[in-house]
Amino acid sequence: MKFSDQFESRFSEMLTHYPTKRSLLVPTLLYAQDEIGYLSDEAISEIAGRVDLTELEVRNVISYYSMLTTTARGKFNVQVCTNIACMLRGGEELLDHCKKKLGIGHKGTTPDGLFSLEEVECIGACSWAPAVQVNYDFHENLTTEEMDKVLDQCKNKGTQ
């Protein structure tokens, strides 16, 4: 499998920073996912070989982190936390609102490929609950009106 020159240069650079190759796994998976949209069988096999792990070990790590996926997602992956702090401050209502607004359920993707929606466990922003992560951006203390603004901004960016 061939990755971009940018990926290769990042990978080579990381090799100089970590004591063992396996330490490169998570950042390498994130870079690969950013580049090809999801972690394909081919990418998993390639990365496992590069960091001296088995494919099963790589898949175990992927299944642990909600930011990593083996299936294609929308351009904007909306992750709504409904864990305890967020649940107490309206996380479930926010998730229901997103489901209605986007017309998709948990792990669904809109037909135009713009949005994916996911209910997730704590994303480490409990002090600012309810919290939502869209790709790498956090949005906190959200109301349904503010959630609409976030989704509208994504839509505008995605259709430009």
Residues contributing to the site for ligand FES (CB under 6 A): 81, 83-86, 122-126, 129, 131
Q: How far is the CB of 119 from ligand FES (least distance, A)?
A: 11
Nearer to ligand FES, 19 or 124 (CB): 124
Closest CA to 73 of 23, 37, 19, 45: 37
Q: How far is the CB of 77 from ligand FES (least distance, A)?
A: 16
Q: How far is the CB of 138 from ligand FES (least distance, A)?
A: 9
The CA–CA distances, whole Å, from 26 to 33, 57, 152 equal 10, 12, 31
Judging by beta carbons within 10 Å of its beta carbon (0-12, 13-18, 19+), is residue 21 exposed, middle or buried? middle
Q: Measured between alpha carbons, how far is 160 from 147 in angstroms, rounded to an integer? A: 20
Nearer to ligand FES, 53 or 95 (CB): 95
Nearer to ligand FES, 59 or 106 (CB): 106
